[in-house]
Amino acid sequence: MTLTRRALLSTSFAAGLTAPLTPRPAHGQGIPGAAAYSAERLGVSLLVLRCGEIIFEDYPNEGAADRAWELASGTKSFCGIIAASLAQEGSLALDERCADILSEWRADPRKSRITIRDLLTLTSGIGGGAIGRPPPYAEAVAQPALYEPGERFQYGPAPFQIFGEIVRRRTGHDALAYIQSRIFNPLGIEPQRWRRGTDGFPHMPSGAALTARDWAAFGRYVMSPSRGEPVLDRTVYDALWRGTVANPGYGLTWWLLRRGLVGPTRSERRRAGLPTDEQLETMGLEVRMAAGAGNQRLYLIPEREMTIVRQATGVREALRGRSQDWNDAAFLRFFV
């Protein structure tokens, strides 16, 4: 049974507890152990799907099934799916030069060679900007390319704001209106909030607020679209999970928990909760992830057919540099 809004709303927590859980780790705590780990670190939701069915759902610390929480940078991964949808329609190509759409880039020796792929893998050469402070679209487009395309991974909001402007110019609609119409509506997803900038355009690197159930519905769709759901371009879809030379652990707007991962900055891998290479080796799972400040997480584990949503309070505190003692490998070990 695939995940639909009706199925989600009708699946009870009791049914989740009676469903067979994933194999338990050596310390025997399983998914309830993951729930405790999350709750002790400001967690407000933990929702686990397997094969599209809820098998565990928990809302500690004043969380609730119908309460939305800010995804912070978990918002970024919507951009990769927008790109895959546009490519499926024939409106965008992954290796198309951004300057084909952004005419002001055509005379710039570096920016004229940046592709959509470069932009969304964060290897365009354009600086990311201050994390948590998306610039207006026009300001992002005007930023210089400091490096050659493909040379360096630079994490931050600017490339996603640039992509928002590309979507607006190519489709005539803002990116939020596009994804709502083409992806969210067919899946029954309705963001409760999505911040906009002073220019009136939606923030594409952050700003979305979804319930755990809606974020899980999106994750389940991304991992395994079902019959009747929007079709995604296969070339772009495969690129979502392909790292770059500059960062093997980041694909097309999605984190890839694999050896060689470069964090938001080279000095912030641990503070961002990302595992070390040694921890990744002991996990033994392919994990794809959308992630945001305060340890907002959407994990996709294809070999287990599992989608895991974890949400928490403390986004602003995390952006100010306060650690919450979170580690993805420690959390995911409960599912191994």
pLDDT score for 21: 34
Residues 41-86 have pLDDT tens digits of: 999 999 999 999 999 999 999 999 999 999 999 999 999 999 999 9
pLDDT tens figures, 158-201: 999 999 999 999 999 999 999 999 999 999 999 999 999 999 99
Its pTM stands at 0.89
pLDDT of residue 270: 62
* pLDDT in the model for residue 16: 34
DSSP for 19-74, written as a single string: SPPPPP-TTS-HHHHHHHHHHTTTEEEEEEEETTEEEEEE--TT--TT--EE-GGG
pLDDT of 8 > 60? The answer is no
pLDDT of amino acid 149:
97
Task: Please determine, for residue 104, whether its predicted confidence score (pLDDT) is greater than 50.
Answer: yes
Confidence at residue 317, expressed as pLDDT on a 0 to 100 scale? 72
Give the count of beta carbons closer than 10 Å to the beta carbon of residue 147.
16
Quote the pLDDT of residue 70: 96
If one counts the domains in the chain, the total is 1
Per-residue pLDDT band for 22 (boundaries 50, 70, 90) equals very low
Q: Element (H or E) spanning 330, and its range?
A: helix 328-332
CB 75 within 8 A of CB 204: yes
Task: Considering only residues 141 and 132, tell me which one the structure prediction assigns the higher pLDDT.
Answer: 141
Q: Where in the sequence is the domain holding 143, given as residue range(s)?
A: 5-335
Q: Which two tokens stand for residue 328?
A: 């993805």
Average pLDDT over residues 284-309: 95
Q: Which residues pair with 208 in a beta bridge?
A: 194
What strands lie across the sheet with 306-312, from one edge to the other? Answer: 53-58, 43-50, 306-312, 296-301, 288-292, 255-256
Q: What is the pLDDT of residue 25?
A: 37
User: Residue 59: exposed, middle, or buried by beta-carbon count in 10 A (0-12, 13-18, 19+)?
Assistant: buried
- Identify which of 12, 39, 3 has the alpha carbon closest to the alpha carbon of residue 334: 39
Mean pLDDT, rounded, for 136-159 = 96
**pLDDT, greater one: 5 or 73:** 73
Residue 273, domain CATH? 3.40.710.10
**pLDDT value at position 323?**
63
Q: Give the model's confidence band at 276: pLDDT under 50 very low, under 70 low, under 90 confident, else very high.
A: confident
Residue entry with tokens 């201050």: 130
pLDDT of residue 312: 96
Average pLDDT over the chain reads 89
More confident residue, 13 or 243: 243
- Sorted by sequence, the CB contacts under 8 Å of residue 280 that are 6+ apart come out as 257, 258, 259, 261, 329
Amino acid 249 reads G
CB 251 within 8 A of CB 291: no
DSSP characters over 226-242: PTTSPP--HHHHHHHT-
Q: 3-class DSSP state for residue 77?
A: helix
**What is the average pLDDT across 320-331?**
80
